[in-house]
């Protein structure tokens, strides 16, 4: 197969490719919607510094 020799080439016939795209869309929507709202809430309402708000959101993702 042509893609065997070129590891960075996407295999468009891969049945899991659609699932991966949907997953990336969901994480994109999470960042655009929920994370932006949460970041603004933490920095404006709760007066957290931006770096502290980012750290809090990152740690909440790890849980």
- Residue tagged 């909440």 (tokens): 60
What pLDDT does 48 receive?
A: 97
pTM over 0.85: no
Dist CA 23 CA 44 (whole Å): 30
Asked if residue 19 has pLDDT above 90, the reply is no
What pLDDT does 30 receive?
A: 76
pLDDT digits (tens, 9 = 90+) for 23-63: 778 778 877 888 899 999 999 999 999 999 999 999 998 87
Q: Where are the domains of the chain?
A: 31-63
What pLDDT does 3 receive?
A: 52
Coil/strand/helix, residue 12: coil
User: Residue-wise over 13-42: b if at least 16 C-beta within 10 A, else e?
Assistant: eeeeeeeeeeeeeeeeeeeeeebeeebeeb
Dist CA 63 CA 47 (whole Å): 23
């Amino acid at each position: 197969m042509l893609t065997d020799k070129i590891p960075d080439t996407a295999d468009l016939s891969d049945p899991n490719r659609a699932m991966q795209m949907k997953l990336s869309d969901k994480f994109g929507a999470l960042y655009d919607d929920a994370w932006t709202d949460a970041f603004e809430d933490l920095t404006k309402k709760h007066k957290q510094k931006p770096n502290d708000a980012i750290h809090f959101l990152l740690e909440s993702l790890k849980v």
